[in-house]
């Protein structure tokens, strides 16, 4: 893969992936999305379908059970899924970029051999345990601790807002914890692999969320949870730095998901504007509606171009941190703005949860918060500019 990815001019293998995932989203995801949203139930049958298609293995080599694709392929799949159901899309995104990717990037041979085949096949899900009640963007607030005792890490603390951590197929949580003090007197933060079967680990009752109701999200607690010393992931003291690298990549994936949400709102609004009549003609014949939808399409296109650019740089091995932040910023804002406009276009129907645009309205807000808030993205962009 090289730089210069452009919309409407993708290689055949990418277009074939788009077509197959779009068909899956229409025929498998769409019929059950509203029910899972209303019931706050995890869509196991949809996840099984994604696993059968190989979506959880898209960016991983065949030697680990993957599809030997790349990160851009994952992004394309996320965009198509998010047009229909953001909960399904975030389940895939978190399972791949936050669950399996840290092991692929930083794990040793034994850790990869043990965990990656389960995760790339979709047989199991892994979660990414970074955020705490007092520590999100601020790593210095990390309070979860891990101490070596008798050849084990003994973990105590809490995590919150952790996706894919409490399903029946959730098998692993990668956790950041304070493991000591570095030479500068600051907290030494390392990363540990904690199987969900570990005594002392508990996925607390699921959150009652505003949106993403069919995705699995829990607070986690660790009370003298013991894992072998060999469960250290990567170099001791590099846990937070490694997670920041994972988040840089993940922001491209969230940007792609956001573009899917933004485009889904365009597609629904175009359909509705052609069908809904008022005063003897379709409402799309009115410039007030047509121009609003045109702006929505422009937002989605610009945001898509931004994540394509960031993905191309990443795959070319070039610096992409700023471009990932830009993509995440404009993508999440496009999703939220388009959801608001789509709801307005649909009028009273847009306020009904049976309509896709209502779900997008509720779901899209978290895109401006998760995996780095809008304010964090602005800070990173400004820092890159030397400000």
- Residues with active-site annotation: 371
Residue 138: what pLDDT? Answer: 73
Residue 134: what pLDDT? Answer: 82
Residue 135: what pLDDT? Answer: 76
Domain ranges of the chain: 12-123, 126-236, 241-384
Dihedral-angle region of residue 51 (phi above 0 means left; psi in -120 to 50 means alpha; beta otherwise)? alpha
Residue % of the chain over a pLDDT of 90: 91
Mean predicted confidence (pLDDT) in 311-325:
97
Mean predicted confidence (pLDDT) in 13-33:
97
Query: From CA 237, how far away is CA 252, in angstroms rounded?
Result: 26
For residue 1, pLDDT beyond 70? no
Residue % of the chain over a pLDDT of 70: 97
Residue 186: what pLDDT? Answer: 86
For residue 358, pLDDT beyond 90? yes
93-118: pLDDT as tens digits = 999 999 999 999 999 999 999 999 99
Q: Which CATH architecture has domain 126-236?
A: Beta Barrel (2.40)
pLDDT confidence band for 214 (50 / 70 / 90): very high
Task: Return the half-sphere exposure (C-beta side, CA atoms, 13 A cut-off) of residue 235.
Answer: 4
| C-beta separation of 11 from 309 below 8 A | no
158-193: pLDDT as tens digits = 999 999 999 999 999 999 999 998 888 888 999 999
39-89: pLDDT as tens digits = 999 999 999 999 999 999 999 999 999 999 999 999 999 999 999 999 999
Reported pTM? 0.95
CATH, domain 241-384, list 1.20.140.10, 1.10.10.410, 3.40.50.300, 3.40.30.10: 1.20.140.10
Mean predicted confidence (pLDDT) in 330-347:
98
Mean predicted confidence (pLDDT) in 297-325:
97
Q: Which of 7-21, 351-365, 368-382 has the lowest mean pLDDT?
A: 7-21
Residue 2: what pLDDT? Answer: 44
Mean pLDDT of the chain: 95
For residue 316, pLDDT beyond 80? yes
Q: Which of 26-35, 222-231, 234-243 has the lowest mean pLDDT?
A: 234-243
Residue 3: what pLDDT? Answer: 52
For residue 8, pLDDT beyond 90? no
Dihedral-angle region of residue 126 (phi above 0 means left; psi in -120 to 50 means alpha; beta otherwise)? beta
pLDDT confidence band for 139 (50 / 70 / 90): low
Residue 171: what pLDDT? Answer: 98
Query: From CA 342, how far away is CA 293, in angstroms rounded?
Result: 8
Class of domain 12-123: mainly alpha
Query: From CA 167, how far away is CA 215, in angstroms rounded?
Result: 10
For residue 7, pLDDT beyond 80? no
149 class by beta-carbon count within 10 Å (0-12 exposed, 13-18 middle, 19+ buried):
exposed
214 contacts: CB under 8 Å, gap ≥ 6: 33, 36, 37, 40, 41, 42, 43, 85, 87, 88
pLDDT confidence band for 4 (50 / 70 / 90): low
Cβ count within 10 A of residue 197: 8
């Amino acid at each position: 893969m090289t730089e210069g990815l452009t919309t409407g001019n993708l290689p055949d293998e990418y277009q074939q992936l788009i077509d197959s995932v779009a068909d899956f989203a229409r025929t498998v995801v769409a019929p059950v999305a509203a029910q899972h949203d209303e019931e706050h139930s995890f869509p196991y049958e949809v996840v099984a379908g994604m696993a059968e298609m190989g979506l959880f293995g898209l960016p991983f080599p065949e030697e680990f059970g993957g599809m030997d694709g790349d990160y851009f392929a994952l992004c394309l799949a996320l965009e198509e899924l998010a047009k229909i159901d953001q909960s399904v899309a975030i389940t895939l995104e978190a399972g791949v970029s936050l669950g399996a990717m840290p092991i692929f990037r930083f794990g040793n041979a034994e850790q990869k051999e043990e965990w990656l085949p389960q995760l790339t096949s979709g047989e199991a899900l892994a979660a990414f345990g970074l955020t705490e009640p007092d520590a999100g963007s601020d790593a210095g607030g990390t309070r979860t601790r891990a101490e070596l005792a008798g050849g084990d890490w003994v973990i105590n603390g809490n995590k919150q807002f952790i996706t894919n951590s409490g399903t029946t197929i959730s098998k692993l949580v990668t956790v950041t914890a304070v493991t000591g003090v570095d030479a500068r007197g600051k907290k030494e933060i390392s990363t540990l692999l904690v199987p969900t079967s570990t005594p002392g680990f508990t996925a607390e009752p699921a959150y009652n969320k505003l949106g993403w109701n069919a995705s699995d999200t829990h607070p986690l607690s660790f009370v003298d949870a013991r894992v072998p010393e060999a469960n250290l992931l990567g170099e001791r003291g590099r846990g937070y730095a490694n997670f920041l690298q994972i988040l840089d990549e993940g922001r491209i994936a969230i940007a792609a998901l956001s573009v899917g949400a933004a485009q889904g709102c365009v597609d629904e609004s175009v359909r509705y504007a052609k069908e809904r009549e008022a005063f003897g003609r379709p409402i799309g014949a009115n410039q007030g509606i047509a121009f609003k939808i045109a702006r929505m399409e422009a937002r989605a296109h610009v945001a898509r171009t931004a994540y394509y650019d960031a993905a191309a740089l990443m795959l070319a091995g070039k610096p992409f941190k700023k471009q990932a932040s830009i993509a995440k910023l404009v993508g999440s804002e496009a999703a939220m703005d388009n959801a608001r406009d789509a709801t307005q276009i649909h009028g009273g129907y847009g306020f009904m949860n049976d309509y896709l645009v209502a779900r997008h309205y509720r779901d899209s807000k978290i895109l401006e918060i998760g995996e780095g808030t809008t304010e964090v993205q602005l800070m990173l962009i400004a820092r890159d500019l030397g400000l």
